[in-house]
Every structure is written in structure tokens, then in C-alpha cells.
Amino acid sequence: MDYFEIIGQNTLKGEIEISGSKNAVLPLIAASILNENSLQKFTNVPLLSDTITIIKLLEKMGASVSENENSISIDNSKLNIPFAPYELVKTMRASFYVLGPLIAKFGEARISDPGGCAWGPRPIDFHIKGLKLLGVNFKRDHGYLNATTKRLTGSTISFPKISVGATGNVVMAAVLAKGTTRIYNASSEPEIQQLCNYLNIMGAQISGIGTNEIVIEGVKSLSTNKSIKIIPDRIEAGTFLIAAAAVGGEVQLNNIAIEHLSTVIDKLRQTNVLIETNSSSIRIKSNPNILNAVDLETNEYPGFPTDLQAQWMSLMSVINGNSNLKENIYFDRFTHVPELNRLGCKITLDKNNAKIRGKSNLSGAQIMSTDIRASAALIIAALCAEGLTRIDRIYHIDRGYYKIENKLSKIGANIVRKKT
């Protein structure tokens, strides 16, 4: 099993190319099931382990997928098995995205309950309730969900809480439903925006994209032969911005969408970091000794992303002052805290609130990853720590960051991947 060895306290300097978005490419690949055209090409694809998992899932269903550098071509003309097995779904919750398009295309689907990261339950109730309102019947059986419908029919769906996954699944089913579907409290995340735009390119009629009210007029079929470029990964970009702020130095990120990072940039500027932007790149200059702590709450887009909460804790641990962090999306998303404290961070928890004492002197230790974003937080803390840190179970980081050690090494980090 792979692990990282990191020797900290090296200033970061140089340029990093940001990859395509993991959280965008997964629903887009699932949505390609709906494309009646025999071939679909996606570019700027991050070939992460999660991307490979969903590709394998489509291949299990009968698709043919070819890879070429950072692009993939999908031929779904022989995809005819609406079944998502446990051995693939258990490794990645986003595999559940295939439910909506499968039920829309075939009128049935059998899919395992999802797995994914190790922190806390993230129920699929919103997915199921939304699809039920469109006319889908569900039956549980031996760890699987059997979904069937005679005819999808438009409906009004109001989510009690914004859910990215549920919004995506319901949208992908509703595009082929008879009549009009209105989704209230829908996700407005950039990844959902790209999904809706892709569906419209195929001929769907979706309005309200980027707002919390999405309206879908059902159509009979979808088809396109256009190549789709995956949007830049705002979470990867935010991770590197926070890393540069915490460790110190001058780093430029290329291939980014500034508009997707406005909240993160604003928060970083409040700490006294210097940030310069243009249309597709961002430069950050940081001296951690003059940075000040800033309180934070995570929220749905355009709020501060929960996927950058753990990384922010690492930054707050090494700069001046004390801070409070409130997690509003996933109340139990704190498995990284004990591991950060092993490095010398001083973080205490009270339900979904964390208190962070700044200017901690971190020192290397053996620690382990618990999920994708926790892994990124541990790397940032290790880069700030004195001496050697070993991070085990880094297969988590490979699910969300493409060759992160190569990108960090390029800008001066002392990080090496090793095998046990």
C-alpha cells in the first residue's frame, strides 16, 4: 500500500496546472448514458481513481470507453445492462449518479447502496424521494435498490436541504419525463451547472441553471456529438491556494475559473494573503508570519465549500490568532482532527463547531488519511511541520487529486510516494 513521506518547511514557488473537476466529470459520464449518439468525447478529464471507477461501471453495463491523455471517448451504443454492482459502487458514492439516467433510459435499474468516504452517514433519502415523485418505485433487496417505472412524469420537488447529488440524479431522470418538473432548493454548484448545460446541449430543456429553482420540460430523447470540456477543479485549486498560504511562498495556478473561487479568495484575503487574478490564472504570495486567523462557516455554493473545511483548519493552525470553524453541511466531517492534533495542531470540537488555536508548532509524525479532503489537510499540515511525516492510506487522496505529489514537488515541496 502506498504512503507519503514529507519533510516540511520548504517554501513553495512556481506554477501548477489545475486539473479538470472530479465533481463535474463523474455526473457527466453518468449523463452520457442518455446520449443517443453512439460516441461522446470529454476533454480536460482528471484520470483519478474515481473517474476510472465510473468508467469501469459503464463498461460493466456494456459501454466501450477509450482514454487518450486527458480525454475519454464513450460509446454507449451497446450499453444495455442497467445494473451497478456492489464491488464498484461501494468504493465511490458518486456511482449512485447512474440511477437517474438508467431509470430514464431503461425504465428500470438495480444499484447497490453507495459507499465512498469513511466519515459518517450521508443518506440517499433525497435521491429516492425525488425520484419517487417522478413515478419511480423502489424495493430493497439483499443490499440493492431495485428501481422501476412505467412512465416518468414531471412533478414538483422541494428538497428539505440542498443536495448536489440528489439534484443531479433527479435532473437526469426528469429530462426524459413527460411534462414539467420543478425542483426547489436545488443545488447551484458549478458542477451541477455544467451537468445541466451538457444536458441542454443534448436537447434537454432546463432553465434556472445556477439558481436554487430549476425547471425541466421533458423531451423524448437526447443526442449530441459535441466534445465537452470539463470545468477546472475549484476544490483542487482551493487546496493549493490554502497550501501556499500556510507554507509560504509565491505560487501561480493556471487553468482555473476565477468565478468559482470568489468566496475562497475573499476568505484568504482576509487573512492578509496577497492574491492577484486574471481570467484563467491566480497568483498567491504568502508570508505565514504576518497572516491572521479568520472565522469560517461552510455553506452551499456560493458559500465556503465543505470540501475545503479540513484544509482551512491546517492553515488556521499555523498562523497568528485563534479561530472558530462551523461545519453546516456534514456535521460529522471531522475525522481529520485527531490526525492533525498528532502533528501538533490544537483543535477542539463541540458538535459541528471547531475551535482552532493558531501559531501551533507542528512536528512530523506517522498519521493516516481518512477521506479525500482530510488527506489534503494532512499534507498541508505536514508541509508546515518540522521534520518527517508519514501519511498512510493515501489511496483516499488518489480519488480526488491527480498526482498531487508531482504537482507539489514541482513547486518545491519535499514529498515522495513510497510503497510498503
Instruction: Give the SS3 label for residue 170.
Output: helix
Looking at residue 402, its pLDDT comes to 93
Q: Which of 117, 196, 345, 384 is catalytic?
A: 117
Q: Do domains 2-19+232-419 and 22-229 have the same CATH topology?
A: yes
| pLDDT at residue number 116 | 47
How far CA 408 is from CA of 61, 236, 376, in Å, comes to 37, 12, 12
DSSP 252: E
CATH number of 2-19+232-419: 3.65.10.10
> C-alpha cell of 387?
521534520
Taking only the tens of pLDDT, the chain with its 420 residues reads: 899 999 999 999 999 999 999 999 999 999 999 999 999 999 999 999 999 999 999 999 999 999 988 999 999 999 999 999 999 988 887 888 999 999 999 999 999 977 545 444 456 899 999 999 999 999 999 989 999 999 999 999 999 999 999 999 999 999 999 999 999 999 999 999 999 999 999 999 999 999 999 999 999 999 999 999 999 999 999 999 999 999 999 999 999 999 999 999 999 999 999 999 998 999 999 999 999 999 999 999 999 999 999 999 999 999 999 999 999 998 889 999 999 999 999 999 999 999 999 999 999 999 999 999 999 999 999 999 999 999 999 999 999 999 999 999 999 999 999 998
Residue indicated by cell numbers 460529522: 332
> What whole-number distance in Å separates Cα of residue 237 and Cα of residue 191?
14
**Entry pTM:** 0.96
Nine cell digits for residue 162: 440542498
**Helical (H) or strand (E) element with 254:** strand 249-254
Q: What topology does CATH give the domain 22-229?
A: UDP-n-acetylglucosamine1-carboxyvinyl-transferase; Chain (3.65.10)
Cα 394-353-166 angle, rounded to 5 deg: 65
Closest CA to 243 of 6, 4, 12, 5: 12
Domain locations in the chain?
2-19+232-419, 22-229
384 among known catalytic residues:
no
Q: Give Cα 90 to chain centroid, integer Å.
A: 17
Alpha helices in 113-261 (DSSP H): 125-133, 164-174, 190-201, 234-247
| pLDDT of the residue at 135 | 98
Q: What is the pLDDT of residue 123?
A: 66
- Assigned C-alpha cell, 73: 471517448
Question: What pLDDT sits at residue 344?
Answer: 98
Residues whose CB falls within 8 Å of the CB of residue 347, separated by 6 or more in sequence, listed in order = 313, 317, 337, 340, 341, 354, 355, 356, 357
Cis peptide before 114 (omega within 30 of 0): no
Distance CA 87, CA 119 (A): 19
Whether residue 10 contacts residue 288, with contact meaning beta carbons closer than 8 Å, is answered with no
Tell me, what amino acid is at 337? V
